[in-house]
Amino acid sequence: MLLKKLSEAFGPSGLEGEVRNILTEELAPFVNEWTRDALGNLIAVKPGTRGPKVMLAAHMDECGLMISSIDRSGLLCFRKVGGLDDRVLVSKYVVIGPKKIPGVIGAKAIHLQRPEERTQVIPLNGLYIDIGAKSKEDAERLIKLGDYAVFGTEFGHLSDTVVKGKAFDDRSGCAVLAEVLKEQYSMPIYGAFTVQEEIGLRGAGVAAYAIEPDLAIVLEGTTCSDLPGSLEHGFCTGMGEGPAITAMDASVITDKRLVNELLRLAKENNIPVQFKRSITGGSDAGRINQTKAGVPVVVISVPCRYIHSPVSMLSLVDFENTIKLVKLFLESIDKGGFAL
């Protein structure tokens, strides 16, 4: 399963090569032309003979950690790469560097903590990665400064329709984009698998500048808030309630024409959809939208519980409906049923 391969791949911001290789291999029978820019964006080019130039984007990178120092006992100090919550780090299994050295994020045992420490989130400088090394020299034989670490989570099924894994933000979007690129269209399609979204939407702007699309569709894995204690006014999306369409977030106001066409197609084809109701956070759409003279954009997301954590969950029904909706949208444009 492509989603499994992508979820388990090692691909923090700035080191997306393993994800890039999986996608290139998966799409080799369907894509004849590829470009790769200086930042590492992978762009699948499907030339067309008529119609608008359409960019579809999904980011390959995930949040991770970077080794910043090694102390004399062989424990690894680290810094965060992307928006990870300190509260989810302690005691988690990780893999480090090109050899995927196993380790565990450790902290002072509760028995040794002062009373006031037990009521506080353990700060980053109170955490370390333990690889079982006996000394700094022992650790340095396996790890070097600047090596990345990511959560070592295995993909798996929780039920027939729900799966768990890491990096569903945005490997779910990458998997959706890959499935869409297996179809044929008359219009030019540019499938951009972007880099470094989690540290500032860096790859998307470069890719859009090169492509100069007439419109763009950004495919994401977004936050769910269908959990106990979630306040209604802060609600975002619900898992199992269909693809989530963004009207606005902190980075972009999406094009109303594109949004309305998606809603029309969903209604006519009995595809459940929902709006992403939270306006916090952003996506590659924010950078693409402001490229050159401006690009009309829309964001379609797979709702995912617990993103930016060691283990996320998503509904395969939502995932498949996202693929269906994107394909219908492209078919509508291709047949002239929708035009800007």
| CATH code assigned at 200 | 3.40.630.10
Predicted pLDDT at 125 = 85
Task: Compute the distance between CA of residue 276 and CA of residue 246 in angstroms, rounded to an integer.
Answer: 5
Query: Are 23 and 77 part of one and the same domain?
Result: no
In a domain, 160, yes or no: no
Domain span at residue 277 reads: 2-62+166-334
Number of residues that make up the chain: 340
Task: Compute the distance between CA of residue 142 and CA of residue 148 in angstroms, rounded to an integer.
Answer: 13
Instruction: Kindly report the pTM of this predicted structure.
Output: 0.94
Predicted pLDDT at 119 = 67
Task: Supply 22's token pair.
Answer: 């999986």
- Asked if 188 and 48 count as a contact pair (C-beta separation under 8 A), the reply is yes
Predicted pLDDT at 122 = 80
Sign of CA dihedral 190, 3, 335, 266: negative
Query: Are 49 and 75 part of one and the same domain?
Result: no
Query: Are 292 and 243 part of one and the same domain?
Result: yes
Query: Are 112 and 230 part of one and the same domain?
Result: no
Query: Does 197 qualify as catalytic in the annotation?
Result: yes
Query: Which position has the token pair 């993909």?
Result: 155
In a domain, 340, yes or no: no
Query: Are 207 and 251 part of one and the same domain?
Result: yes
Query: Are 315 and 204 part of one and the same domain?
Result: yes
Indicate which residue of 16, 26, 62, 197 is catalytic.
197
Q: Which of 183, 215, 287, 286 is nearest to 56 (CA)?
A: 215
In a domain, 157, yes or no: no
- Asked if 262 and 245 count as a contact pair (C-beta separation under 8 A), the reply is yes
- pLDDT under 70: residue ranges of the chain: 108-119, 226-234
Last residue of a domain, one of 151, 179, 205: 151
Last residue of a domain, one of 120, 151, 182: 151
Last residue of a domain, one of 122, 151, 180: 151
Q: How many domains does the chain have?
A: 2
- Asked if 292 and 212 count as a contact pair (C-beta separation under 8 A), the reply is yes
Q: How many C-beta neighbours within 10 Å does residue 338 have?
A: 20
Query: Are 242 and 274 part of one and the same domain?
Result: yes
Query: Are 236 and 330 part of one and the same domain?
Result: yes
Predicted pLDDT at 230 = 62
Query: Are 52 and 198 part of one and the same domain?
Result: yes
Predicted pLDDT at 115 = 67
Query: Are 188 and 198 part of one and the same domain?
Result: yes
Task: Compute the distance between CA of residue 89 and CA of residue 92 in angstroms, rounded to an integer.
Answer: 6
Query: Are 19 and 87 part of one and the same domain?
Result: no
Query: Are 49 and 174 part of one and the same domain?
Result: yes
In a domain, 325, yes or no: yes
